[in-house]
Amino acid sequence: MERVSKLNTDSPIGYRLGAWAQERFEPENAVLFFVLYAAALLLGRSVVTSGPIEVRVADLVGFIAVWSFFLMLRVFDEHKDYDLDCHNHPHRVLQSGLITLGHLKALGLLAIAAQVGASVYLDRGLGSISTAWLAVMAWSCLMAVEFFCGEWLERRLVLYAVSHMVVMPMALVWMAQMGAGAAQLPMSIGWLAALSFLTGASFEVARKMKAPEDERETIDSYTKALGVAWAPLVVLSLLVGATIVLTVVISGIFDTAMSGYWYVIIVAPLVPAAWALLRFRRAPSAAAGKLCEAMVAVVMLSGYLGLLVAIFLERGFAWS
């Protein structure tokens, strides 16, 4: 924040965009994006090939596209929520005028160009990867205009969240298609899509749980929509569902029955998350809410990492 306070409209645009990214598109998120991408990519490759899973230099091109996709979603959100954020968060980099929506529009166009270029490059033309990306892009654009019913949808927070979370399974299928290349993905990839929806929804609800004293009239929260008693239980239910689906996905990787220790590895991260959520339910506070958000993120990250480890142990990797 100290560095941001020293910036002004005469500062180099790179510094100002960097300050916006630090605030609204944190660089450390790239780690989560990479794990999501690697898990989807290698699972997609594993279900259409036999033997060791090839890891290619060209896969980095796909990651650039995935990172650009999440950047594009953030830019869309910044445009969509601009007026409300001016009221609720006037000191943010964008709202304070250090950068403009025009700057973000240019950034968003570059992000879209990167996705198009990567998809066409990996397809060697127009093919399955580009088609999967077009589906994701179409839904993202609908999200950007709030499905042409923004005022109606915003009054229904749960429906709003579901409509926006659909983009995650679509994006994971796109990433899996990058791994499969021209080959058709089997229907079983739907389990990965379900996993991404459940984990994404749990994180979305967890990050918008507020203690009663932190609620603001003009800012939506799931504790306001569902109640303090129910919101953490909804998150816990989503995490339990995600854990069950993760078990199905990982068990499908192994040719033989999954060893018992895998069940322990899969379920273990759920325990501290459940403790944090029930603690928030008993005594809601800002600190307890942050802990819930962090624990849900740990469950997400550990699940996709476990998926990668399972693929490696069963099939091995071959660098090319």
**Both 126 and 105 in a single domain?**
yes
| CA-based nearest residue to 185, from 194, 196, 176, 175 | 176
CA distance 11 to 94: 14
Q: Please report the pLDDT score of residue 5 as a whole number.
A: 62
Residue where a domain stops, chosen among 162, 184, 206: 184
Helices 286-315 and 270-282 meet at what angle, rounded to 10? 170
Q: What is the rounded distance in angstroms from the CA atom of residue 288 to the CA atom of residue 283?
A: 8
Residues 88 and 195 in one domain: no
My answer on whether 213 and 272 are in the same domain is: yes
Same structural domain, 223 and 239: yes
Please state, in angstroms and rounded to a whole number, the distance separating the CA atoms of residues 199 and 167.
13
- Domain carrying residue 209: 186-315
- The answer on 291 and 168 residing in a single domain is no
- From residue 301, give the alpha-carbon distance in Å to each of 93, 268, 270, 287: 29, 13, 12, 21
Is residue 73 in a domain? Answer: yes
Q: What is the CATH number of the domain that holds 271?
A: 1.20.120
For 37-40, the CB contacts below 8 A with 24+ separation are: 37/62, 37/63, 37/66, 37/175, 38/304, 38/308, 39/192, 39/304, 39/305, 39/307, 39/308, 40/172, 40/173, 40/175, 40/176, 40/178, 40/179, 40/192, 40/196
Same domain, 34 and 163: yes
Q: CA 27 to CA 134: how far, in whole Å?
A: 26
In a domain, 1, yes or no: no
CATH number at residue 43: 1.10.357.140
5 part of a folded domain: no
* 174 and 28 in a common domain: yes
pLDDT in tens, 131-150: 999 999 999 999 999 999 98
* Judgement on whether residues 17 and 106 belong to the same structural domain of the protein: yes
- How many domains is the chain partitioned into structurally? 2
In a domain, residue 262? The reply is: yes
- pTM for this structure? 0.93
> 130 with 154, same domain?
yes
Find tokens 């409209």 and name the residue.
9
CA distances from 260 to 39, 180, 247, 265 (A): 22, 30, 11, 9
CA 57 – CA 35 distance, rounded (Å): 16
Stated as kind and residue range, the H or E segment containing 318 is strand 317-319
Encode the chain (320 residues) as per-residue pLDDT tens digits. 545 668 889 899 999 999 999 999 999 899 999 999 999 999 999 999 999 999 999 999 999 999 999 999 999 999 999 999 999 999 999 999 999 999 999 999 999 999 999 999 999 999 999 999 999 999 999 999 999 998 898 888 889 889 999 999 999 999 999 999 999 999 999 999 999 999 999 999 999 999 999 998 888 899 998 999 999 999 999 999 999 999 999 999 998 888 899 999 999 999 999 999 999 999 999 999 999 999 999 999 999 999 999 999 999 999 87
